[in-house]
């Protein structure tokens, strides 16, 4: 394939303006979503170790659900970005319908497990009876939001791919406010409400998610935005189109599935190391996710720009965007890691946890801060570049081999053979990130990840000059 864009070299300031115009609203939305988790953990952290561990383990199941949903919808969003560059709105409506149907199917499975077998789910990660009881109660309530929230996932990812990244912000702001107010009322029994502890946090989270789904849907259809379509239009796809989309999407889905199950294996190992260990991991993981907020905006904004460029047949521009992405995120990631390391005492001062949990969290923050830049670089290559460019299979096999051939064996070796503390185990697991760096960067510079998925005829990858 030959590049058709005549302005192959783009000024860095032009790229940065485009990138951050998309990244800012996406980052703000991730900030709002992450702040819900941070506030929940901070409030629950005023209770005891078991409460922190229970909510953290239950949220690991929620996290698995979110990541698998993300795998489905981000795979579809690859096509949305390219079809938006091609200006084909009817196909985008069909993609929206496909995403919602797939989301409902997966959401139903997770909702069934959360509603009918919550204790069995929590027991996979902890044998502490109090942790299992509290976590099961939390999960059963939150499970009611799983199926409706699939609609939110589909609308959010497609809106971002079309450049309307700021639209979901309104519903997310309302959801965060609802969650904070209800947490304040229900966890500790303020403003005349009964103190419900972990159960109160679950009710607050579930209510906020349901309101977010309803409000976002209303905004899209009342405006209306280009994504608004009738159910008939969204379901007007044929088998050939489904097959075309599925061919590219299945590696993304499997990528997220095997990645999140691998991460869940890490959590299982941490939990088996004791309640202070898993409580510390949950605290640090929450703040690591918070640090990722601005980077998530950059990752997805870069993916959108790359996908739109390929859909418009501007292949050299897509490659230039990828280079800028790698350069922009690196100094930011190093700085974020240093912030986490330097603020350890301040952050942990908010928690009423045991000395063992405090010490574990203190050194976990050091480990996390040191390897943070490797994670953001790998996210950039896999999520922004490879997925945005349509090269989903390579990203899948790279993540699969890193997690299951390096990360999971290292976790079990460090915990049960070497008997290292939890922060030592996390350091061993981080070897997977170094492996992905070694494999991913050469793939990027080869340009083989550039694939035009919406062209009228199939194109061969990596043939740009």
Q: Is residue 1 part of a domain?
A: no
Q: Is residue 451 part of a domain?
A: no
Q: How far apart are CA 139 and CA 201, in angstroms?
A: 11
Q: What is the pLDDT of residue 461?
A: 45
Radius of gyration of the chain (CA): 22
Choose among 310, 273, 243: nearest CA to 455.
Answer: 310
Domain range holding 81? 12-446
Q: Is residue 463 part of a domain?
A: no
DSSP code at position 383: I
DSSP code at position 195: P
Backbone φ, ψ for residue 107 (5° rounding): -60, -35
Label residue 34 by pLDDT band (50, 70, 90): low
Q: Is residue 117 part of a domain?
A: yes
Considering its fold, how many domains does the chain have in total?
1
Find out whether 330 and 25 touch, Cβ atoms under 8 Å. Answer: no
Q: How far apart are CA 340 and CA 347, in angstroms?
A: 9
Q: Is residue 4 part of a domain?
A: no
Q: How far apart are CA 70 and CA 389, in angstroms?
A: 17
What integer best gives the mean pLDDT of the chain?
84
Using DSSP, state whether 440 is helix, strand or coil: helix
Q: Is residue 135 part of a domain?
A: yes
Q: Is residue 237 part of a domain?
A: yes
Q: List helix spans (H) across 312-430.
A: 315-342, 344-348, 355-379, 392-402, 408-412, 422-429
Q: How far apart are CA 4 and CA 265, in angstroms?
A: 46
Using DSSP, state whether 220 is helix, strand or coil: helix
As a whole number, mean pLDDT of residues 219-240 equals: 88
The pTM assigned to this predicted structure is 0.70
As a whole number, mean pLDDT of residues 310-327 equals: 85
As a whole number, mean pLDDT of residues 189-209 equals: 87
462: pLDDT strictly greater than 60: no
Label residue 38 by pLDDT band (50, 70, 90): low
Q: pLDDT tens digit string along 357-387?
A: 889 999 999 999 999 999 999 989 988 888 8
Q: What is the pLDDT of residue 430?
A: 92
SS (H, E, C) 123-149: HCCCCCHHHHHHHHHHHHHHHHHHHHH
Structure token digits, residue 385: 């570049």
Q: Is residue 338 part of a domain?
A: yes
């Amino acid at each position: 394939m030959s590049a058709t864009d005549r302005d192959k070299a783009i000024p860095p300031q032009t790229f940065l303006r485009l990138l951050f115009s998309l990244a800012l609203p996406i980052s703000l939305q991730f900030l709002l979503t992450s702040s819900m988790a941070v506030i929940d953990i901070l409030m629950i952290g005023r209770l005891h170790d078991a409460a922190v561990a229970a909510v953290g383990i239950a949220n690991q199941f929620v996290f698995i659900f979110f990541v698998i949903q993300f795998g489905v919808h981000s795979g579809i969003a690859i096509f949305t970005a390219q079809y938006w560059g091609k200006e084909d709105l009817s196909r985008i409506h069909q993609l929206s319908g496909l995403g919602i149907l797939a989301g409902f199917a997966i959401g139903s499975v997770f909702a069934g497990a959360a509603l009918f077998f919550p204790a069995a789910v929590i027991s996979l990660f902890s044998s502490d009876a109090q942790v299992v009881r509290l976590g099961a109660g939390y999960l059963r309530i939150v499970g009611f939001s799983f199926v409706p929230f699939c609609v939110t996932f589909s609308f959010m990812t497609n809106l971002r791919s079309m450049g309307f990244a700021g639209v979901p912000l309104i519903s997310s702001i309302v959801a965060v406010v609802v969650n904070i107010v209800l947490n304040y009322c229900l966890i500790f029994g303020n403003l005349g409400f009964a103190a419900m502890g972990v159960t109160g946090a679950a009710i607050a989270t579930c209510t906020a998610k349901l309101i977010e789904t309803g409000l976002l849907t209303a905004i899209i259809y009342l405006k209306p935005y280009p994504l608004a379509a009738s159910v008939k239009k969204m379901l007007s796809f044929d088998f050939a189109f489904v097959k075309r989309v599925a061919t590219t999407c299945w590696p993304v889905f499997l990528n997220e599935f095997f990645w999140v199950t691998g991460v869940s294996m890490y959590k299982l190992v941490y939990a088996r190391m004791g309640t202070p260990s898993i409580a510390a991991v949950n605290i640090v993981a929450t703040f690591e996710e918070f640090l990722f907020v601005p980077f998530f905006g950059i990752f997805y904004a870069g993916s959108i720009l790359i996908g739109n460029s390929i859909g418009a047949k501007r292949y050299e521009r897509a490659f230039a965007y990828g280079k800028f992405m790698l350069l922009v995120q690196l100094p930011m990631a190093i700085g974020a890691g240093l912030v986490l390391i330097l603020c350890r005492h301040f952050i942990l001062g908010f928690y009423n946890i045991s000395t063992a949990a405090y010490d574990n969290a203190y050194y976990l923050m050091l480990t996390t801060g040191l390897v943070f830049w490797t994670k953001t670089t790998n996210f950039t290559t896999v999520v922004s570049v490879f997925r945005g460019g349509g090269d989903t299979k390579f990203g899948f096999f790279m993540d699969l081999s890193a997690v299951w051939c390096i990360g999971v064996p290292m976790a079990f070796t460090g915990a049960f053979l070497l008997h290292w503390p939890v922060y030592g185990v996390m350091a061993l697991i981080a070897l997977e990130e170094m492996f992905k760096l070694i494999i991913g960067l050469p793939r990027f510079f080869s340009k083989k990840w550039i694939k035009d998925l919406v062209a009228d005829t199939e194109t061969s990858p990596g043939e740009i000059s």
